[in-house]
Amino acid sequence: DMKVTQMPRYLIKRMGENVLLECGQDMSHETMYWYRQDPGLGLQLIYISYDVDSNSEGDIPKGYRVSRKKREHFSLILDSAKTNQTSVYFCASSLGTGTDTQYFGPGTRLLVL
């Protein structure tokens, strides 16, 4: 069964703390993505990874970094979290890029106080 998993599902952090969001997929997909979703703004692309150690900035990369050391895992790191990074974060994967279907995880709700 094709699946994208995200951990944790809910997270509360204080401003200035570091945050690590983890994503896994069992489909051997080359491409993985991190998005954030805010009310009225839709899904905004933070980073895209084309394979291990091959990452590219999306539309809103400031304040975030990523790590992909294994094809099936993709991490999003917030160094010194800010209150405006409170959001729902979604990870997705696809076989390739462009028109390929993206499979999304269930999301991580992050609250930065």
Where do contacts with other proteins occur on this chain (CB under 8 A)? 4, 31, 40-43, 45, 48, 50, 56, 58-59, 90, 92, 97-99, 101-107
Which residue lies nearer to other proteins by CB, 42 or 69?
Answer: 42
Which residue lies nearer to other proteins by CB, 24 or 105?
Answer: 105
CB of 15 to other proteins, least distance (A): 26
Token pair 């394979």 is found at: 51
